[in-house]
């Protein structure tokens, strides 16, 4: 009997997963470096690094393990994820993923879309946003590296995800917010034990400062130094949606865009599903939703030009990134799939939040309102057909951002007496009837 160790079962991190990740690669110049490398930018051209895989081996391993033998979380298809340490994987993300895909019949009727689905990542665990997927990968990578501190720069949801998942993993989180921070999310971070700092600048300025801090101190930042691994977590949304549709890929995704990680990696995930033989996804279009007060990606797509940085002026703070790090990847993905984009006003955004709530009982944050308003716009423009299958992504929970919503008048101090209450009830009914006409 041979004493040789199967390199696919063990490695420098100890017992390993069935990850088929092979190396870090620059998609721009072709530079390659081992997966053990801690680089996050290409030393040859300065672009961001990506993870490459042995797709033939991934196809073989996926075929050997039935769906019922796989966990229903972000690690379901670990062959296509970059974490190789089994120990690191088991410490984070056990309850992230498997968010509902809901047939939104009532909302669809309002928008003229018979096959509209909501991918509701506002129910993600533990922090109620899609960021649990990407931060789960970053924290697992941190554990692989044997480190116990993690930073992040955040417009809101990344911070709460880092705070929660770091707490689960037993590492110390440090959260840096820009000046227009969503204060409810910052309070949540502090309640979760994180150290939180508000910087005097917008997100793009804060991001540059945090990059310098990471280089100076050696601290790992979830969405900077760990970004190649962080970004891969977003693919799990593509894997889930296609499986939830019984391996029949949708005609459209509509995805809110900030830095561009989610939409660009949904594109990568769709490509990988084809490479390993799980689904045919070439016909799926990716459409981008942004706020008109910060729409560098949507503007580039609709104008046919390139990304031009913008100064954010929108209430949709969680997607207010004027210089998106993965913006070019998103534009390329949308164009290659024949998709489109829309940029909607804050007024349209909050109207869409109310419409989603009133029709489907889902309370979303402004990023989700942007998705619904953009879906409506694209349907009106004929870029989404009435009978096409559409998946609109709700990326974060509205309970975090109630203070952002415009105030609505409501009756206060009504006498606790049946006559006054009945009169008010009749007023409510008349207003509801008038709204239908």
DSSP string, 314-329: SS-GGG--SS-TTHHH
Mean pLDDT check: name the lowest of 137-141, 178-182, 218-222, 429-433: 178-182
1 band by pLDDT with thresholds 50, 70 and 90 = very low
CA distance 274 to 262: 19
CB 395 within 8 A of CB 157: yes
Give the CB-side neighbour count of residue 289, counting CA atoms within 13 A. Answer: 32
- State pLDDT tens for residues 73-102: 999 999 999 999 999 999 999 999 999 999
6 band by pLDDT with thresholds 50, 70 and 90 = very low
Residue 13 pLDDT exceeds 70: no
* Residue 381 to residues 168, 209, 336, Cα–Cα distance (Å): 45, 41, 20
CB 252 within 8 A of CB 266: no
CB 28 within 8 A of CB 42: yes
CB 366 within 8 A of CB 353: yes
- In 3-state terms, what secondary structure has residue 414? coil
Residue 39 pLDDT exceeds 70: yes
The pair of three-digit structure tokens given for residue 110, joined into one six-digit string: 């309002």
Q: What is the mean pLDDT of the chain?
A: 94
- State pLDDT tens for residues 364-423: 999 999 999 999 999 999 999 999 999 999 999 999 988 888 998 999 999 999 999 999
274 band by pLDDT with thresholds 50, 70 and 90 = very high
Q: What is the pLDDT of residue 410?
A: 93
Q: Domain spans of the chain?
A: 10-90, 101-124+235-404, 131-230
CB 119 within 8 A of CB 394: yes
Q: What is the pLDDT of residue 277?
A: 97
Q: What is the pLDDT of residue 190?
A: 95
Asked whether this chain's domains 101-124+235-404 and 131-230 adopt the same fold, the reply is yes
CB 373 within 8 A of CB 109: no
For CA atoms 7, 8, 13, 15, the dihedral sign is negative
Give the CB-side neighbour count of residue 65, counting CA atoms within 13 A. Answer: 14
What does the CA dihedral 120, 123, 125, 126 come to, rounded to 10 degrees? 130
Q: What is the pLDDT of residue 7?
A: 45
CATH 2.40.128.110 fits 131-230, yes or no: no
434 band by pLDDT with thresholds 50, 70 and 90 = confident
Residue 4 pLDDT exceeds 80: no
Provide the β-strand partners of residue 14: 11
CATH architecture of the domain covering 101-124+235-404? 3-Layer(aba) Sandwich (3.40)
11 band by pLDDT with thresholds 50, 70 and 90 = low
CA distance 286 to 269: 12
Per cent of the chain over pLDDT 90 is 89
Backbone angles phi, psi at 343, to 5 degrees: -125, 120
* Residue 235 to residues 81, 139, 175, Cα–Cα distance (Å): 9, 16, 24
């Amino acid at each position: 009997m041979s004493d040789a160790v199967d390199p696919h079962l063990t490695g420098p991190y100890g017992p390993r997963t069935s990850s088929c990740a092979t190396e870090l690669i620059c998609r721009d110049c072709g530079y390659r470096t081992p997966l053990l490398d801690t680089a996050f930018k290409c030393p040859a051209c300065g672009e961001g690094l990506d993870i490459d895989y042995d797709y033939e081996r991934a196809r073989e391993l996926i075929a050997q393990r039935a769906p019922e033998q796989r966990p229903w979380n972000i690690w379901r298809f670990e062959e296509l994820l970059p974490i190789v340490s089994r120990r690191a994987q088991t410490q984070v993300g056990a309850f992230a993923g498997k968010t509902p895909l809901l047939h939104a019949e009532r909302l669809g009727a309002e928008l003229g879309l018979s096959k509209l689905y909501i991918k509701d990542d506002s129910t993600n665990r533990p922090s109620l946003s899609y960021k649990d997927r990407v931060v789960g990968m970053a924290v697992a990578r941190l554990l692989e590296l044997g480190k116990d501190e993690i930073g992040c720069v955040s417009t809101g949801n990344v911070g709460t995800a880092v705070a929660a998942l770091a707490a689960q993993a037993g590492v110390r989180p440090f959260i840096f917010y820009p000046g227009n921070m969503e204060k409810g999310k910052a309070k949540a971070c502090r309640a979760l034990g994180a150290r939180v700092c508000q910087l005097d600048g917008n997100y793009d300025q804060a991001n540059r400062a945090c990059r310098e801090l990471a280089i100076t101190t050696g601290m790992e930042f979830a969405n900077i130094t760990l970004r190649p691994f962080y970004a891969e977590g977003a693919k799990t949304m593509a894997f889930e949606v296609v499986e939830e549709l019984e391996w029949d890929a949708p005609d459209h995704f509509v995805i809110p865009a900030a830095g561009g990680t989610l939409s660009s990696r949904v594109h990568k995930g769709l490509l990988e599903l084809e490479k390993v033989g799980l689904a045919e996804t070439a016909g799926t279009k990716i459409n981008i939703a942004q706020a008109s007060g910060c729409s560098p990606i949507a503007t580039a797509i609709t104008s046919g030009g390139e990304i031009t940085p913008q100064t954010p002026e929108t209430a949709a703070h969680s997607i207010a990134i004027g210089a998106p790090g993965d913006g070019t990847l998103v534009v390329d993905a949308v164009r290659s799939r024949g998709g489109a984009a829309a940029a909607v006003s804050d007024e349209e955004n909050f109207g869409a939040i109310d419409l989603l709530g009133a029709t489907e009982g889902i309370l979303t944050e402004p990023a989700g309102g942007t998705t619904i308003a953009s879906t409506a716009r694209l349907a009106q423009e004929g870029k989404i057909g009435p009978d096409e299958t559409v998946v609109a992504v709700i990326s974060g929970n509205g309970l975090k951002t109630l203070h952002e919503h415009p105030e609505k008048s409501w009756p206060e101090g009504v006498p606790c007496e049946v006559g006054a209450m009945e009169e008010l009830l009749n007023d409510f009914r008349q207003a509801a009837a008038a709204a239908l006409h």
